[in-house]
Structure 1
Amino acid sequence: MEKITLSVQNLKKVIGKKEIIKGISFELKEGEVFGFLGPNGAGKTTTIRMLVGLIKPTSGSIEICGYNIKTHFYHALKNLGCIVENPELYPYLTGSDNLLHFARMLEGIGEERIKEVTELVGLTERIHDKVKTYSLGMRQRLGIAQALLGRPKVLILDEPTNGLDPAGIREMRQFIRYLAKKEGLSVLVSSHLLSEIQLLCDRVAIISKGTIIRTDTVHHLLSNRERVVWHFHPYEMGKQLLEALTTVEEKKDGTILTEFHETKIAEWNKLLVEAGVSVTEMNRKLPVLEDLFLELTGGDRIE
């Protein structure tokens, strides 16, 4: 049975007279990467702040490794590591001195653990250099090392790839996957890079206007969404022929989309050509999370 490390049940937050979070529920499992997506003003950041104890929920419950954050705050937060926005580091100290400084705030964390997290995040060669000489990716890794000092079971990362170049994004993605699969951490990732969430996460929760509208595995969210892009002329004749065969989606730019059926595509193309329709493009379009996101949120901008 999969172990639940973070449980959020009917969580609500009211500020003034406005209900920001409207009874959301989700769970994280041990060893998974969980994506948290929401358009502007959806309540994603407010939720994260409640999870890490920065603000109190109006109602509902948050449990971390079985500890309720309201009744057992210390024990709950002891199992949680997080980076909300950018990691706060001292640039004129070395990476090692930064970790030593934060380790002093925790019980039972000595130099051995500092060495372990340094090796884990791949900073052994640079840990004695000043942080001001680090690249953005290295600072992110040092921030994660800091978050891992207390051996948490749940790691919350807010925009972990923000500002990184493509190589840095790929490296961070591989590192997060490693933490989940090899170290058994539950990682909640908030990100505005939908393509990155698709590659990185096992499951995704999509939040809009304070409500979670879908939570599922990336595979299930995108299954049965594969499409075929068609361009042809005469346009109306081709469209009518395809409409008699399958469901047709017509785009404003004149593109026709149909469902992907591997055994039928060649047959449909043949029928179009035999009817005198000239097919100029027939292209398989793989499903992407961005399309689903825009569909579910009505095209709202993401945070």
Structure 2
Amino acid sequence: DPEGIRELLALIKELSEKDGRTVLVSSHQLHQIQQVCDRVGIFVEGKLVASGPIESLGKQVLSDGNMTIEFGAYPDNEELVELMKSIEGVKEVKREKGMFLISSSEDIRSTLSSQAVMKGYSLSHLRLRGGDLDDIYRRYFSKEGVV
């Protein structure tokens, strides 16, 4: 029930902000939880594997030297793939759902976008994975050997 969810999230936010209350929520709807929570705990197979502010957990995940960048540009051709692979720090380039996933040892977004534009490509998508709660959970889940 989308309306019921909106009302519940609004109530949680109100209790937290106006009344200063702590509200404990257990949910698999991470995108909704991220809208109202400032601190989270991540449990994997019943063990608390991480806790803290979402922003801090995201920074921890991104600082491990394994970054994933979502990238899309037109025209989508082999020269574009070779351009991505030629950038220092790129470990792997693969296609997924109409875009590329680039694994790298560092944040290459600036270099990637400037080189693509200089070569005449039009950017359609550029995002560093890892900052939202779903990405954070997946990273911790895979670190625990569950995935």
TM-score range, shorter chain: 0.5 to 0.7
Is the CA contact 2:30–2:133 (under 8 Å) kept in the aligned structure 1? yes
Correspondence 1:193 to 2:29: yes
User: What displacement does 1:211 show?
Assistant: 1.9
Residue in structure 1 matched with residue 14 of structure 2 by the alignment: 178
CA distance change for structure 1 residues 174 and 300 in 2, over 3 Å: closer, same or farther?
farther
TM-score, with normalisation over the residues of structure 2?
A: 0.67
Deviations 1:93-140 (A, max 9, x none): xxxxxxxxxxxxxxxxxxxxxxxxxxxxxxxxxxxxxxxxxxxxxxxx
| Distance (Å, rounded) in 2 between the aligned partners of 1:294 and 1:187 | 24
The equivalent of 2:117 in structure 1 is 270
Task: Provide the TM-score with structure 1 as the length reference.
Answer: 0.36
User: Which structure's CA Rg is the greater one?
Assistant: 1
CA contact (8 A) 1:207 1:214 kept: yes
- State the percentage of identical aligned residues: 25
Structure 2: tracts of 5 or more residues without a match:
none
Write out per-residue CA displacement over residues 165-222 of structure 1, whole angstroms, 9 at most, x where no aligned residue. 2232222111101111211211111011010111121111111123211112111223
Aligned runs of 1:226-245 on 2, under 5 Å? 227-231=69-73, 232-234=76-78, 236-242=81-87, 244=88
In the alignment, the residues of structure 2 paired with residue 206 and residue 196 of structure 1 have an alpha-carbon distance, to the nearest angstrom, of 15
Q: Distance in 2 between matches of 1:206 and 1:281?
A: 34
RMSD of aligned alpha carbons: 3.1
**Which of the pair has the greater relative contact order for Cα pairs under 8 Å at 6+ separation?**
2
- Given that residues 260 and 284 in structure 1 are in contact (C-alpha distance below 8 angstroms), is that contact kept between their aligned partners in structure 2? no
How much has 1:281 moved relative to structure 2? Answer: 4.6
User: Are 2:72 and 2:126, in contact at CA under 8 Å, matched by a contact in 1?
Assistant: no
Cα distance in 2 between the residues matched to 1:170 and 1:233: 43
Gaps of 5+ in 1: 1-164
Alignment correspondent of 2:126? 284
> In structure 1, which of residues 223, 242, 250 is the aligned counterpart of residue 93 of structure 2?
250
Q: 1:296 to 1:250 in 2, by over 3 A?
A: farther
